[in-house]
Amino acid sequence: MAKILLEMKNITKTFPGVKALDNVNLQVEEGEIHALVGENGAGKSTLMNVLSGIYPYGTYEGDIIYSGEICKFNHINDSEQKGIVIIHQELALVPYMTIAENMYLGNEKGKRYAINWNETYGEADRYLKTVGLMESSHTLIKDISVGKQQLVEIAKALAKKARLLILDEPTASLNEDDSRSLLELLLKFKSEGLTSIIISHKLNEIAYVADKITVIRDGSTIETLDRKKDAITEDRIIKGMVGRELVDRFPRRCDVEIGEKAMEVEHWNACHPLYSDRKVVSDVSFYVRKGEVVGICGLMGAGRTELAMSIFGKSYGVKISGTVRINGKEVSLNSVRAAIRHKLAYVTEDRKGNGLILGNPIKINTTLANMQAVSRHTMIDKDKEIAVAEDYRDKLKTKCPTVEQNVGNLSGGNQQKVLLSKWMFAEPDILILDEPTRGIDVGAKYEIYCIMNRLASEGKSIIMISSELPEVLGMSDRIYIMNEGRMVGEVSAKEATQEKIMACILKSDKQHKDTPECTEKRENQRKGE
């Protein structure tokens, strides 16, 4: 019989006005991959924060038993000393420090006042090799991709002698290839005896790697599925999460009459803000009609977000050129204010960094993009502000006790609804939604999709950028395909398949690599010039 490494008994955690965890129980065997699933706000991250000491002993009820010993962690350092290491969804790396410096930050090698840099870089290189990252530990974090940064976080955890690795949404920002590589790495660690707890909303990944799956709903443990005893499928997991069968992942669109062109973009170019000779958007042209949902897909680094941000008030990039027409009239969108004035909205993929002010209440975040609508003679009408926020809370079914609550205390799905509320209140005609369902559960995703369909039925134009091909296929009327900053294909939703989209990307890759410029560049690299 397998040894129990971790047992969490009757964990109850209460925040002001909210019981986040209610007698939750979790049992993890040594050497297994144990998944924790549930809707946004179910209590998954809260439970892991209790385990890791982020919420110290005394702020919750219940017991943590690790390796047969009752633990009372008062700080994250206490849990790390026992070999429990958590990797959060938002990576905790310093961009302008090297990989090695990040790996040993707070865990330095050497004497108290003298770091042993030879040992630091030597050990860092060894752990990078263990996780399959072929980068020098002297490389700056800013110079590697998000997928590689995720591997640095895992190497950092291994350097802390992790016995129990907790990963919170580890593949949320990764493309399909990087996600699969990470999952294979977890399976490799499992074969070597490392225990992992993984939180993820990507149910296909959970079904692929997990030995057991514990479902949490509304702060309570619902069930634990065991691969040896239960048939683990995405539909079975969803039923436990939402308490019912979810027949359709994507709501059916009403018969909407798609109108004339709302926005046209022609020959759009933008360069990297730091490396101004490097084009991140190259001669891109596309359009969206009234009442239409247009999907833009591509691999990570394709330039989709750079395209959207450079159009929206030129908020990203330099040497921006090209033409934007709204309702047939050429417009200049030289600032975010100008973009909003022309009824254009951009819902960022980074809701915590760029979309919301986490330390401010829901009411302020909701009205932020259209403050003049709740102001009188430059003074904000507080009653009107609250009324607007409550109206959008009800429309979007945002779960919160009051609109006075800080946005930072909401779950990811509810934060996303507040972000949508903010831009809906700005009354745009064209919405660019950048990864609108990243990091949120299947139930919240369905609600976001319903909101998108409702907006389209009202004649709004929606451009949806997404890394999830099933989402693009399930929600779009037309699909554009981007690769390496270029628009390389367009297909109707009826004709589109995942295979066709990937074939288009691979074909464009080959054509681009066969150009004289790329051939010359490869030759120069080969010669060491």
Residue found by looking up tokens 């976001």 in the block? 448
Residue 253, CA distances (Å) to 261, 287, 359, 430, 441 in order: 20, 20, 37, 18, 21
CA distance 452 to 408: 24
List of E strands, 204-357: 212-217, 220-226, 261-271, 279-289, 293-297, 318-326, 329-331, 344-347
Task: Report whether 301 contacts 279 (CB < 8 A).
Answer: no
Average pLDDT of the segment spanning 305-323: 94
Phi then psi for residue 169, to 5 deg, are: 50, 60
Mean pLDDT on 463-479: 90
Q: Is 329 exposed, middle or buried (0-12, 13-18, 19+ CB in 10 A)?
A: exposed
Return the pLDDT at 38: 84
| DSSP label of 30 | T
**Which amino acid, one-letter code, is at 475?**
M
* Cα 153 to Cα 34, 141, 160, 340, 512, distances in angstroms: 19, 11, 11, 38, 33
Residue % of the chain over a pLDDT of 90: 53
- Per-residue pLDDT, averaged over 182-194, amounts to 91
pLDDT for the residue 239: 79
In the structure, what pLDDT confidence band is assigned to residue 67 with cuts at 50, 70 and 90? very high
Number of neighbours of residue 126 by Cβ within 10 angstroms? 13
Question: What does the pLDDT look like over 9-37, one tens digit per residue?
Answer: 999 998 876 788 999 999 999 999 999 98
Which domains are present in the chain? 4-242 (3.40.50.300), 263-343+428-529 (3.40.50.300), 355-427 (no CATH)
Q: Which one, of 364, 358, 351, lies nearest residue 404 by Cα? A: 364
DSSP state of 117: H
CA 223 to mean position of chain CA atoms: 26
Asked if the model's pLDDT at residue 385 lies above 70, the reply is: yes
- Residue 245 reports pLDDT greater than 70: no
pLDDT at 1: 58
Give 221 or 254, the one with higher predicted confidence.
221
Q: How many CB atoms lie within 10 A of CB 245?
A: 9
Cα separation values, 240 from 169, 215, 236, 426, Å? 19, 6, 7, 37
CA distance linking residue 424 with residue 409, whole number of Å: 22
What is the rounded average pLDDT of the residues 510-515? 56
What mean pLDDT comes out for the span 249-266? 86
d(CA 463, CA 455): 12
**Distance, CA of 93 to CA of 53 (rounded, Å):** 20
**Band of the pLDDT at 43, cuts 50, 70, 90?**
confident
Which pLDDT value is given to residue 518? 47
pLDDT of 56 higher than 70: yes
At residue 234, the pLDDT reads: 80
Q: What is the DSSP string of 148-198?
A: HHHHHHHHHHHHTT-SEEEEESTTTT--HHHHHHHHHHHHHHHHTT-EEEE
**Both structure tokens of 378:** 């430059």
Q: What is the pLDDT of residue 510?
A: 60
Q: Is 26 within 8 Å of 63 (Cβ atoms)?
A: no
Strands (E), 272-411: 279-289, 293-297, 318-326, 329-331, 344-347, 375-376, 379-380
Query: Span 222-249, mean pLDDT?
Result: 78
Grade residue 447 by pLDDT with cuts at 50, 70 and 90: confident
Q: Per the confidence metrics, is the pTM higher than 0.85?
A: no
Assigned token pair, 306: 């750079």
**466: nearest Cα among 479, 451, 477:** 479
Q: Tell me the pairing of strands 344-347 and 430-434.
A: parallel
pLDDT in tens, 369-384: 999 999 988 899 999 9
Q: Say if residue 411's pLDDT is above 70.
A: yes
Complete edge-to-edge strand list for the sheet that includes strand 318-326: 279-289, 261-271, 318-326, 329-331
**Spatial CB neighbours of 520, under 8 Å, sequence gap ≥ 6:** none
| Reduced 3-state DSSP string for 373-422 | HHEECCEECHHHHHHHHHHHHHHHCCCCCCCCCEHHHCCHHHHHHHHHHH
Q: Which residue has the higher pLDDT, 169 or 62?
A: 62
Residue 244 is predicted with a pLDDT of 60
pLDDT of residue 256: 74
Q: Mean of the per-residue pLDDT values for the chain?
A: 87
- What pLDDT score was predicted for residue 361? 94
Does 39 have pLDDT greater than 80? Answer: no
Judge whether residue 214 has pLDDT over 90.
yes
- Residue 246 pLDDT: 57
Question: When comparing pLDDT for 306 and 413, which is higher?
Answer: 306
Residue 517 CA to residue 507 CA, distance in Å, equals 17
Nearest C-alpha neighbor of 299 from the set 500, 524, 485:
485
Q: Does 514 have pLDDT greater than 90?
A: no
Helix (H, G, I), strand (E, B) or coil at 144: coil
DSSP for residue 145:
-
More confident residue, 239 or 93: 93
Confidence of residue 522 (pLDDT cuts 50, 70, 90): very low
**How far is 193 from 205, CA to CA, in rounded Å?**
20
Over range 506-510, report the average pLDDT. Answer: 71
Going by pLDDT thresholds of 50, 70 and 90, the confidence category of residue 500 is: confident
Confidence of residue 520 (pLDDT cuts 50, 70, 90): very low
| Res 528: pLDDT | 40
Which pLDDT band holds residue 104 (cuts at 50, 70, 90)? very high
Q: Do 278 and 303 form a contact (C-beta atoms < 8 A)?
A: no
